[in-house]
Amino acid sequence: MRIIIYGAGAIGGYLGALLSAAGADVTLVGRGKHREVMATQGLKLDDKANPRPDRIKLNAVLPGEEKPPYDVVFVTLKAHQHEPNAERIAALRAKDGCCVFLQNGLPWWYFDRIDSPYAGKALKTLDPEGKLARILPSEHILGGVIFKPIDLYEPGALRFVESPSDRIVIGEVDNRPSARAAAIAQVVTPAGWKTEVSTDIRTAIWTKLVGNAVWNPLCALTQSAANDIASFPPSRDLAIAMMQEAAAVAKAAGAKINVDAEKAVSDVSTRKSPISSTLADVRGGRQLELAALSWSIIEMGEITGVPTPNLRNVAACAGMLDRYIVNSGSAIRPEAIR
């Protein structure tokens, strides 16, 4: 099995390192200093519980240096990076291969190939011109969800804590079991990252998204950790209302989830939270992943008839923050003054 990981940041780098250390034929595609360090020095995995003294050697290349075809194309880009890279991603896949999109938020293919009152509906916030649907047909795609926070704290170095809940969930767009999904799990799980094959990938996506839809924009706007937001009564109430709206949209769209928003937010208040990826993007001066995490949920609420006033108001503020970062080329970082 020839594997390529397109978008080798924190998640892609970690996956590539595990597969490479296990002897898999894997190539990573990235840019910048992080890719350069991985290619020349290898990748450091900083897990205090199970330290790895040596860097893991990787075949990390620039876009255009790949050698297709590949049997499995793992796509670990941010959702807003899919459209500009769609043609290259499609060109990497072998004729009988597949693309596994490991992403946060809703995918553009959500209403493809399912029995639903909304079957065939396009999510314009994610694929406004239908380019992704044309170039990357859903029969060649597996959806995926990552349950593991990883911090890229310096180029070529990742920090994380192992947890029993760490896993990847993958599944076919039509929810059917498949030999290719099973084969991928049989490669990734022994390499060190438990991989489950789901026959309801949309519910798996929502299981993570009902939290991300709340914490990612709120953390970005307030420069705060999720546990601090959940502990401050006014923002706690807002978080609960946002989660209730997200869960209502999920159920209306057919996801089989049970969410007690008050308990979920209360649980977050009791444990120290890692920095959210969206807050990390604010501090790094990068475009925010709002289409998949916020705007697409609001659009799906419009499609299904579910009001989302709190999600919409927070998305409007986060959207203005994103506009400022993109237009000004600025990063926003806290600076101690006392």
Asked whether the beta carbons of 189 and 314 are under 8 A apart, the reply is no
Interatomic CA distance for residues 274 and 272, integer angstroms: 7
> Hey, what amino acid is at 254?
G
Interatomic CA distance for residues 20 and 25, integer angstroms: 7
Interatomic CA distance for residues 335 and 338, integer angstroms: 9
Catalytic residue (choose from 121, 208, 251, 263)? 208
The number of CA neighbours under 13 Å toward the Cβ of 301 is: 19
Residue 20: other Cβ atoms inside 10 A: 23
Distance of CA 23 to the CA centre of its chain: 26
Interatomic CA distance for residues 321 and 330, integer angstroms: 11
Active site residue 95: no
Give the bridge partners for 93, in sequence order: 70
Sheet of 151-154, strands arranged across? 44-46, 157-159, 151-154
Asked whether the beta carbons of 150 and 11 are under 8 A apart, the reply is yes
Which one, of 77, 79, 83, 93, lies nearest residue 31 by Cα?
77
Instruction: Please return the burial class of 219, using the count of CB atoms within 10 Å of its CB with bins 0-12, 13-18 and 19+.
Output: buried
Give the bridge partners for 99, in sequence order: 73, 141
In angstroms, the Cα distances linking 250 to 26, 49, 134, 147, 281 are 35, 36, 26, 19, 26
Interatomic CA distance for residues 242 and 312, integer angstroms: 9
Residue 263: other Cβ atoms inside 10 A: 10
User: What residues act catalytically?
Assistant: 208
